[in-house]
Structure 1
Amino acid sequence: MRYLMLVLDTPDAPAEPADVPDIESWVRDTYGSGRAVMGDRLRPPADAVGVQVRTGEVVVTDGPFTETKEVIAGFDVLEAPDLDEAIRIAAAHPMAYTGAIELRPFWPLDLDSDAGA
């Protein structure tokens, strides 16, 4: 099963503990074993753009957009047999120590099953 792992930066995070793994090791272990499909860091919220369509018009809004203190700093797409394994992978990420991680299972559209309808 695939999981989207959102890597969250939390500005009020506690001081970095001494036992935080380095990102290079996490990337090498996770991507090297095939448990991650793709990922990247993201530009800051100030570089974000919102897109909406209202009354037939495209409305583009400059970021940031949310009132939350946490911001999405990056993402990874994980390939794991179950949620327990996805949690284990996420818990080894350095931002689990100094920020936060959110795991979201993919919800496939199953477009192929509609082809015969």
Structure 2
Amino acid sequence: MKYLCLIYSDETLLHSSPDSPKDPECLAYAQAIQASGRMLAAEPLQPVASATTVRKRNGHLSITDGPFAETKEQLAGFYLIEARDLNEALQVAGGIPAARVGSVEVRPVRELAL
């Protein structure tokens, strides 16, 4: 089953800490998950200031600079993984180095029948 591990952190802490995406520990963890065959995709995101939010209400498009909501923690990146079950996905998420300075939300991916 596919799971999306969403990494949330105060981006000022994430980019100034040793747990940044360029940190050797982060790179080593990503390589280990990839080598295990569980990683389907993973990417860090640009800073939240580069975000644009799009809404469509009653046929009208609204475009706003910045994230959807002001929060202490911002979406910093993700891992899309393949895991046997939620327990295995949680183990993978728990190993993500950024979990020490933020949080990792684990969500099952719904399969769409096309």
Helix, strand or coil at the partner of 2:80: strand
- Please identify runs of 4+ aligned residues in structure 1 that moved more than 4 A: none
Q: Which runs of 5+ in 1 are unaligned?
A: 112-117
Distance 1:65 1:95, change over 3 A: same
Residue in structure 2 matched with residue 24 of structure 1 by the alignment:
27
How far off its partner does 1:12 sit? 9.1
RMSD: 2.1
The residue type paired with residue 6 of structure 2 is L
Residue in structure 2 matched with residue 6 of structure 1 by the alignment:
6
Distance 1:51 1:35 in 2: 32
73-82 or 100-109, which moves further after superposition? 100-109
How far off its partner does 1:56 sit? 1.9
Alpha carbons 1:10, 1:100 under 8 Å: kept: no
30, 46, 49: which one aligns with 1:46: 49
TM-score normalised by L of structure 1: 0.80
Residue in structure 1 matched with residue 87 of structure 2 by the alignment:
84
The residue type paired with residue 75 of structure 2 is I
How far off its partner does 1:94 sit? 0.4
73, 78, 98: which one aligns with 1:75: 78
Residue in structure 1 matched with residue 102 of structure 2 by the alignment:
99
Distance 1:108 1:5 in 2: 16
Equivalent pairs: percent with the same residue?
Answer: 40
Aligned residues, how many?
Answer: 106
Q: Which runs of 5+ in 2 are unaligned?
A: 18-23
Residue in structure 1 matched with residue 63 of structure 2 by the alignment:
60
Question: For the pair shown, which has the larger CA radius of gyration, 1 or 2?
Answer: 1
Helix, strand or coil at the partner of 1:75: strand
Distance 1:12 1:43 in 2: 12
53-62 or 77-86, which moves further after superposition? 53-62
Distance 1:12 1:72 in 2: 12
Helix, strand or coil at the partner of 1:22: helix
